[in-house]
Amino acid sequence: MVGTAHTGSWAGAHPEIVTCANMFWWPAGTEWEDRLASEPGTGQLNPLHPKTYQVVQNVIRDVLSLFPDNFYHGGGDEVIPGCWKTDSTIQSFLNSSKLDEKASLSQLLEKFINTTLPYIITQNRTAVYWEDVLLDATIRLEDKSVLPSQHTILQTWNGGPGNTKQIVSSGYRVIVSSADYYYLDCGHGGFVGNDSIYDQPPGTDQGSGGSWCNPFKTWQLIYNYDIAYGLTEDEKRLVLGGEVALWSEQADPTVLDSRLWPRASALAEALWSGSRDDEGKTKVAEATDRLNEWRHRMVNRGVGAEPIQPLWCVRNPGMCNAVHPAG
């Protein structure tokens, strides 16, 4: 995934093409809108530096040589204005532009995609971008011809079914990864230190515990989410499927298995076989028994999948349901 944002590490080899690298992510005394990144770890590629495209093309070529898939993910999420604005060349561009700042910043994104997407297409790949390139409130493509739908798939992560609707109604195919349902890292607090959000007086609302996408996404929530909710039949045909995401801010190999499994298995069944019967009723009770069995198979194979019920429930199928099996 090579996008403009989340590229601070590139500054180690090519500092000239990365803006705001290694700076504090939220400058003291500034508003959220003036941040340099949405979380610690700053750095975005500079669309105005010629060497940017030389390096990006080399990276794309290397990635494609390793993965023969028909798709290439071009990133595109969380491009933050403040980071680009720290660069003197970009500041000069903004100051000389006849457009307002928002439109000028969007032109930078357009330049980046308009320079990199054609190369991806020449390599016989379909490009995947995060929804931000079309839906971000500040930096987004105003000229959709830069992003031809026949060569592009967009991946959602914000806004639930509303953002999916916006994308397919614009004629784009979509992969659903809604943070409200499919983000497996949610609900474990935050990782930003000395944050007053953790210091709430006893007896008051304790909030989200620092997790921006709280609460924890249970397997039942994942299983029951209808990724085509509110879409017309024609729009549903543009929904390619869904993908859970486990971001690594608070996940490493020690917790990988338990964070993924069997919740990712719940997604697999829901998308491959459907989560509702012919009468439209959820199949979550039956899925519980299947996931219990599957979880134990994974454990026997050395996968540290987390339990979804006590062992007694596994040995007595149906007896741990909310409604009696005979009811």
| Residues classed as catalytic | 78
d(CA 164, CA 156): 7
Comparing CA positions, the residue from 185, 182, 183 lying closest to residue 227 is: 182
CA dist 51 and 120 (Å) reads 18
> 145: burial class by Cβ within 10 Å (0-12, 13-18, 19+)?
exposed
Its sign, for the CA torsion 104, 142, 16, 192, is: positive
Please compute Rg for the chain using Cα positions.
22
Place of tokens 């109604």: 169
Query: How is residue 7 written in tokens?
Result: 């590229």
Segment (H or E) for 155: strand 152-156
- The answer to whether the beta carbons of residues 185 and 246 sit under 8 Å apart is yes
Tokens in use for 136?
């971000």
